[in-house]
Amino acid sequence: MLVTIDGIVIGRRPIGENNCFIDVLTDEYGVIEVTAHGIRKINSKNSGACSLFAYSRFCLAKNGLKYTLNSAEPKFSFHGISADIEALSLATYFAEIFKATTAPEQEAAGFLRLMAISLFEIEKRRINLPQIKAVFELRIASMLGFSPDLRACRNCICYEHELMYFDFGNSTIICADCVGENAELYTELTPTLLYSMRYIVYSPVEKIFHFNLKTGILIQLEQFCEKYLLQHLDREFRSLDYYKSIKI
Ligand SMILES: [Zn+2]
């Protein structure tokens, strides 16, 4: 049967001279592998819509779990990303996260939108790449079902405190008054850091990148978000190692 779906190309592997497997992130079917005949030919009408990180509408022949490209129309392409190795490596890390966490044929509502917004920010650079990375990591962790509970101190239910702590053991926060002698077991959260984390987790996805942080807080946020995501996924990413190795 023929299906028409929107998706973002998050991976490409050549087959022979002219053909490719493309990995497409979709809301309806998760990440699917599509056989795309002829798209490496110079005159292929589908090559642009099937390029890496293109956001396109795909018409696919679906046969069980196998998909073959019929045609594709580009909706949006993020050309600028491929021209910058640091931007490209960050986008590749995001793609690897989706490939590792999204099963084929499983609905993944909201992931396509998050990836599209993240690629847009990587290309536009209204905020710097380390902040885009941190925001993405914490938000995708939440969307994958690992949302931290940042609402209030787990003991006295206070919302604000001059110093809160994060418990990586059960993803909750506890204030300085309630933490007692166990403070060294937890991670300190200043009010600005906690505010940023709440903003990332609880805001509508369209707004998550709309804030700026000073360098000191950004470093703390970066460390927190990367540790949080990797702890929950319990794995390493080669693309992340590469991103860090070339980071200026
Ligand atoms: Zn408390």
Instruction: Quote the ligand 1 centre to 190 CA distance (angstroms).
Output: 14
Which amino acid, 90?
Answer: L
Instruction: Quote the ligand 1 centre to 201 CA distance (angstroms).
Output: 21
Instruction: Quote the ligand 1 centre to 199 CA distance (angstroms).
Output: 21
Distances in Å between the Cα of 29 and the Cα atoms of 23, 51, 62, 138 are 12, 20, 11, 23
Residue pLDDT, tens place only, 236-246: 999 999 999 99
Instruction: Quote the ligand 1 centre to 194 CA distance (angstroms).
Output: 14
**pTM for this model (two decimals):** 0.95
Q: Structural domains in the chain? A: 2-80 (2.40.50.140), 126-246 (1.20.1440.120)
Say if residues 196 and 211 touch (Cβ distance below 8 Å). yes
How confident is the prediction for the chain on average, in pLDDT? 94
Contacts of residue 96, defined as CB under 8 A and 6 or more positions apart, other chains included, come to 237, 238, 239, 240
Nearest in space to 156 (alpha carbons), one of 170, 176, 171: 176
Which amino acid, 148?
Answer: P
Which amino acid, 124?
Answer: K
- Helices 129-141 + 85-101 axis angle, to 10: 10
Helix (H, G, I), strand (E, B) or coil at 99: helix
Please give the chain's pLDDT, 248 residues, in tens. 999 999 999 999 999 889 999 999 999 999 999 999 998 888 889 889 999 999 999 999 999 889 999 999 999 989 889 999 999 999 999 999 999 998 878 888 899 999 999 999 999 999 999 999 999 999 999 999 999 999 999 999 999 999 999 999 999 999 999 998 889 999 999 999 999 999 999 999 999 999 988 889 999 999 999 999 999 999 999 999 999 999 76
Instruction: Quote the ligand 1 centre to 180 CA distance (angstroms).
Output: 10
Instruction: Quote the ligand 1 centre to 165 CA distance (angstroms).
Output: 10
User: Which pLDDT does position 62 carry in this prediction?
Assistant: 94
Instruction: Quote the ligand 1 centre to 164 CA distance (angstroms).
Output: 8
Instruction: Quote the ligand 1 centre to 159 CA distance (angstroms).
Output: 9
Distances in Å between the Cα of 118 and the Cα atoms of 71, 112, 139, 158, 167 are 26, 10, 11, 33, 28
Query: Any idea how long the chain is?
Result: 248
Contacts of residue 214, defined as CB under 8 A and 6 or more positions apart, other chains included, come to none
